[in-house]
Structure 1
Amino acid sequence: MQHLAEAATKFVAPFPVVIYGVIAMALFVLLGLVTWSYRDVANRREHKSSKSKGHH
């Protein structure tokens, strides 16, 4: 059991810790761009029925 505890303390990250933050930030930006690309999609559809349109 002592050997497992010593092995756990000797963990070395495969790359610097800052890179994990950069990867996470890039992933959030990518997902944000995908979400942003779907803006106004519902308003571009002309086949809406008259019941679904607002009474403006």
Structure 2
Amino acid sequence: MTFATITALAAAETEHHVGLFDTIGYGIVALVVFLALGLVTLSYRNVANRHAPKAEAYARTHADELTQAGHGHH
């Protein structure tokens, strides 16, 4: 046997065939992850409006502090 024949036989034995499910499996996992992240993002929708009365009450009680606050203004 020559070196080329031994190398070819070794390469043929170590060759691994990837099935269709292995390839599609990555896509399915990615889709599930993106859908889960999308649901998390949608769960934060309209959060500011849920707490609007509390924010308005805070603004009324701290009106003096809020008008004085700013970037570099004293």
| TM-score, normalised via structure 2 length | 0.46
* Over 3 Å off, 4+ runs: 9-13
Gaps (5+ residues) in structure 2?
Answer: 1-10, 64-74
What letter matches 2:33 in structure 1?
L
Determine which structure has the larger helix proportion and give its number: 2
- State which of 14, 28, 33 in structure 2 corresponds to 1:27: 33
Alignment RMSD (CA, Å): 2.7
Distance in 1 (alpha carbons) for counterparts of 2:48 and 2:16: 49
Task: State the 1:38 CA deviation.
Answer: 1.0
| TM-score, normalised via structure 1 length | 0.58
Gaps (5+ residues) in structure 1?
Answer: 1-5, 52-56
Larger radius of gyration: 2
Task: State the 1:31 CA deviation.
Answer: 0.3
Distance in 1 (alpha carbons) for counterparts of 2:47 and 2:17: 46
Distance in 2 (alpha carbons) for counterparts of 1:25 and 1:44: 30
